[in-house]
Structure 1
């Protein structure tokens, strides 16, 4: 009889224990699913932020290209007056040749007088053209200033996105992520503050120039190196007209009426022909023709927007020829820029403030900064691609026998007395459960392209990613669970 009663007791306890185990496993599964969903959702939002940085960096680079285009257009306008001046010089040369051919009888004297008159016509056309160019300068300067402000406003938006994303990563509830808990595990805790702080630190370490408080990560690159990266990109994306206009002969992008007056109409007979006409606009290190026409330079930090247009005008009329060079150059920088020749110039060209002129943390409203990826050479740290962690907890015990009668009591345990042997406690219901997850924000370009992570192409994605033992231990330690952190580093323990 006693044996039968004992058997029934053990059977009842095993049934209760089975119910408790099934309930705990169900709760733990939902908690882990919630942790996975939270880590993946935060990583997805971070990937979108990095993609926004890439797109807005492209917009900043496009602003440099637009500035180059404006300088190229203004220089092309300015050079027209200098081409007329070259025509004036050529006809004074022709007049001198006609005089040399006249001899004592002055056979070519009418030609001399006529050549001087044509030279004056070229001078008048040049003067009128300079007046037109001067009237354009105010609009030109306003456009450059607007583009300058656009670059700073784009970076301001990047900083705003960075701050909002850091808030999401540290709390795990902003921007609608709180709904995940309501759907997946309503009784789960919020993201561990220590783990949220680690997420924000990892995100900051992905941006070159942001304070990086994660040990073992590379330091910031030099300010000049960051500036060079944007300079190289913006110069590489210029259109052919901006970079190499005028090759190889007649600059047909100039107004047809201007070209007709220059080459035929003003002089009446003969011709004038531009030769070796070249033009370019570029983001350069300093002013001057040499910086504009040299190849890519590793020293170019992009402190000046400059454009140049030059060539030679050859003229033939009657018995004479003339050949004169012409040039126009415009630069914008913090020192007031330059406009060559000054006859076509009014005011200063100081609207461009230079490329990446101050540290990222002090670059909120000026300085032309941008978000640059902090590369890491170590494959163990995923080459600097930022991880995102989640650690949440939940009581797996219901604590209410009306909702979970298989727990038998609020403590979820049964005390057994074995005569003189003593007492024992059987824990029927699990206590607190924890969910630990990792996601990785990674860079992958579609197709067969292979390129390192960067913030100029929007190919950032998110995925759940396995832990290493040391990494899991670090996250558990940040979550305030040192016992689990120690257990995670146990050799041959599967993660």
Structure 2
């Protein structure tokens, strides 16, 4: 009897040891799968952040292009302002000539002022022709930047779809190697649990199909985000080209010398010169100069303006003359336009599709879209940060008596009779084990106050950690996996999750 009891204890020890080893392997596999799938999501979110910056940089480049074209175009407009000044002087001098009966010097001044006005007009037309030459290169650059935005978002969609596939099946994109290395006999990821992972990842991106989180914002709301970020990223020159009372420094000195050279005498002043370029709601100057948040800018147009006034004084004995000038250029869905002080120097079309003009699910190839984080105000939803679950099962016994003789038989059980006490049975170990894991993809910038920075998809600081379950979460995952018995145990008090 002693030897029998000792033999049963030995076989029980072997069975339990093997089962515990298998269970630890299964749990390690479940943890590594959850963590690895979460790493794929974090890398995807970080890619969205970097590529979103590149998309915003494309809008900044478009603003700069329009600023350069406005600065080039304003040259003709400024020369036409000089033409208008001397036409005004010629008229004034002509009136004085008529008053003196043609016998005063102002008659000659009227003729000379008319000739100077003609010289200004001739120079203006020459500069307008030069601007028209730039139009082709400008259009090519705009098309290239627009194509880059579309290509970047296409790559974002491809990354999103591949990541969805990986967290849904738990085996694609290299994840299958984890099973080979840690638990080759484990089950595949439950398809229902994989569906939960895919939904969690979709819920992190505004505009994607999502169940159980806040609703998607409108395309207009998403457009305002990208528009304001692009506008806020502009450097000083495209956003603010103020010359004050002196000639603007960004205009060529040789060009500015024309205003002194053509009249030959007198003083020329550039007054109140200003300019700006911006992704705006329209081509209106009011929109271009308007503050960032006013009016809900959805970014349907890229526009730039440059304007000011030109004052000529001290020419002969004529009274001073002053006229304004303006150059406006814009690109929109209708092909844009170019207004150079009332003279159209626009040739061809330079289109801009608009910022995030279409829903994310419908603009894989066009539409200037980007990835926006879907913030959730609820702490129970981890503020919208995606969670990744894993659920696996695996046999804890070997099932082959030649390889594991300590299992005694295929059922790993012993039946016995004990006289008047009756019969009994002893199961040496469990047949199958279950493992459940959870990881959290979270945002954290390493700096003072970094935890107070809200999650977003414009800074690549997404990280991963294994995360504890709540009882309700564990029950939901187990129910989805079809393990209702374990789901009931999850609600039991004192059960560690």
**Which band: TM-score by shorter chain?**
over 0.9
* 1:471 matches 2:473: yes
Question: Which moved further from structure 2: 345-354 or 223-232?
Answer: 345-354
Q: Contact 1:188–1:392 (CA<8 Å) still a contact in 2?
A: yes
2:453 to 444, 447, 451: 451
Question: 1:68-89: CA deviations, max 9, x gaps?
Answer: 1111111111110000001111
Q: Contact 2:334–2:351 (CA<8 Å) still a contact in 1?
A: no
Q: How does 1:319-334 map to 2 (within 5 A)?
A: 319-320=317-318, 321-334=320-333
In structure 2, the residue matched to 1:338 is 337
Say which SS state the counterpart of residue 288 (structure 2) adopts: helix
**How big is the shift at 1:100?**
5.5
In structure 2, the residue matched to 1:16 is 11
* 1:377 matches 2:377: yes
2:224 to 228, 232, 246: 228
Q: Contact 1:55–1:457 (CA<8 Å) still a contact in 2?
A: yes
Q: How does 1:246-395 map to 2 (within 5 A)?
A: 246-248=242-244, 249-262=246-259, 264-296=260-292, 297-316=294-313, 317-320=315-318, 321-341=320-340, 343-395=343-395
Q: How does 1:26-37 map to 2 (within 5 A)?
A: 26-37=21-32
* 1:91 matches 2:86: yes
The aligned length equals 487
Instruction: Give me the whole-angstrom Cα distance separating, in 2, the residues matched to 1:465 and 1:447.
Output: 23
**How big is the shift at 1:420?**
4.2
* 1:55 matches 2:50: yes
Instruction: Give me the whole-angstrom Cα distance separating, in 2, the residues matched to 1:398 and 1:176.
Output: 27
Q: Which runs of 5+ in 1 are unaligned?
A: 1-5
Question: 1:376-421: CA deviations, max 9, x gaps?
Answer: 1000110000000111111010112232222122321111122343
Question: Which moved further from structure 2: 163-172 or 342-351?
Answer: 342-351
Instruction: Give me the whole-angstrom Cα distance separating, in 2, the residues matched to 1:287 and 1:462.
Output: 45
In structure 1, the residue matched to 2:406 is 406
Question: 1:77-129: CA deviations, max 9, x gaps?
Answer: 11100000011111222334444666453123333332222211111100101
Q: Contact 2:337–2:346 (CA<8 Å) still a contact in 1?
A: no
* 1:140 matches 2:138: yes
**How big is the shift at 1:334?**
1.5
Instruction: Give me the whole-angstrom Cα distance separating, in 2, the residues matched to 1:168 and 1:129.
Output: 58
**How big is the shift at 1:265?**
1.8
Question: 1:222-268: CA deviations, max 9, x gaps?
Answer: 22111111111111111111110134242111122111213x22222
Aligned-residue CA RMSD (Å): 1.6
Instruction: Give me the whole-angstrom Cα distance separating, in 2, the residues matched to 1:349 and 1:83.
Output: 25
Q: Contact 1:337–1:348 (CA<8 Å) still a contact in 2?
A: no
Say which SS state the counterpart of residue 164 (structure 2) adopts: helix
In structure 1, the residue matched to 2:493 is 491
**How big is the shift at 1:364?**
1.9
Instruction: Give me the whole-angstrom Cα distance separating, in 2, the residues matched to 1:92 and 1:367.
Output: 48
Question: Which moved further from structure 2: 158-167 or 222-231?
Answer: 222-231
Question: 1:169-228: CA deviations, max 9, x gaps?
Answer: 011111211111111112212211111111011111111111112x3x111112211111
Instruction: Give me the whole-angstrom Cα distance separating, in 1, the residues matched to 2:316 and 2:347.
Output: 42
Instruction: Give me the whole-angstrom Cα distance separating, in 1, the residues matched to 2:219 and 2:240.
Output: 30
**How big is the shift at 1:350?**
4.8
Structure 2 CA distance for partners of 1:298 and 1:26, relative to 1, 3 Å: farther
TM-score when normalising by structure 2: 0.94
Say which SS state the counterpart of residue 430 (structure 1) adopts: coil
Structure 1 stretches (4+) deviating beyond 6 angstroms?
none
Instruction: Give me the whole-angstrom Cα distance separating, in 2, the residues matched to 1:131 and 1:350.
Output: 18
**How big is the shift at 1:272?**
1.5
Structure 2 CA distance for partners of 1:298 and 1:35, relative to 1, 3 Å: farther
Instruction: Give me the whole-angstrom Cα distance separating, in 2, the residues matched to 1:185 and 1:302.
Output: 52
